[in-house]
Amino acid sequence: MEKSEAQKWYERNGARIDVSAEKMRRFYERELENWKNIGDPLEYPDKIEIFYKYTYGGQSRFFRELRENKALFGSKCQKCGKVFCPPRADCNRCYEKTEWLRLSGEGTVVTCCSVHFTNSSFIKKIPFICALIRLDGTDFLMISNIEMDDISRAKPGMRVRAAFRDERDGAITDFYFEPCP
């Protein structure tokens, strides 16, 4: 069956495809049938779901540059000169404004690990690499994924570069890292 646009978007962003009401209904039917005593514990199916249109606020340009120009931007404190990526509109050391700075997209792995079990959203993607990466020209670390054939070769000190997805919609999942050639 053709996937809907919404479904594709959900998958790209690691969000969960909605569990079918059918599965919940079948579970509850079994629950209603399986009891011995009228006081036996009863487990009732439920879910919580909230929709948002959250603002990126002062970080918005990062996501627009990412989507429109396949570029990573950091932010530099106008006073102390420290460079943040993820960017911040305000320096938390000096309490001064920062200014935008285009980054090369290359960086160094400070620490990394392979993930073999995870939450409902990502369970179908295991195993994958999570790493803390210091992007060149920044003083900060970004947590991100490194995509590579042999994940056991991901190690601290490794040089990586940003790779951008063809379909980008202005989210952190629009890019990932890969080893520098």
Q: Which residues contact 181 (CB under 8 A, 6 or more apart)?
A: none
Could you say which of 161, 164, 170, 173 contacts other proteins (CB under 8 A)? Answer: 173
Closer to other proteins at the Cβ: 95 or 181? 95
Q: Which is nearer to other proteins, 117 or 181 (CB)?
A: 117
Please say which residue, 51 or 181, places its beta carbon nearer to other proteins.
Answer: 51
- Dist. CA 96–CA 84, nearest whole Å: 13
Applying the rule CB under 8 A, the residues between 75 and 104 that interact with other proteins are 82, 84, 86, 92-93
**Which part of the chain contacts other proteins (CB under 8 A), choosing from 43-51, 65-73, 94-102, 161-169?**
43-51
In the complex, the smallest distance separating the C-beta of residue 102 from other proteins, rounded to whole angstroms, is 19
How many Cα atoms sit within 13 Å of 170 on the Cβ side? 10
Q: Choose the binding region for other proteins from 2-10, 95-103, 135-143, 160-168 (rule: CB under 8 A).
A: 135-143
The token pair that represents 44 in the structure block: 């009732």
Secondary structure (H, E, C), 111-150: EEEEECCCCCCCHHHCCEEEEEEEECCCCCCEEEEECCCC
Closest separation in Å from C-beta 141 to other proteins: 4
Contact 176, 128 (CB under 8 A): no
Which amino acid makes up residue 101? L
Contact positions with other proteins (CB under 8 A) in 60-79:
none
SS (H, E, C) 72-116: CEEEEECCCCCEECCCCCECCCCCCEEEEEECCCEEEEEEEEEEC
Q: Does 141 bind other proteins (CB under 8 A)?
A: yes
Residues that bind other proteins (CB under 8 A): 13-14, 16, 19-20, 23-24, 27, 41, 43, 45-46, 48, 56, 59, 82, 84, 86, 92-93, 110-123, 125, 127-128, 130-132, 134, 139-145, 156-157, 171-173
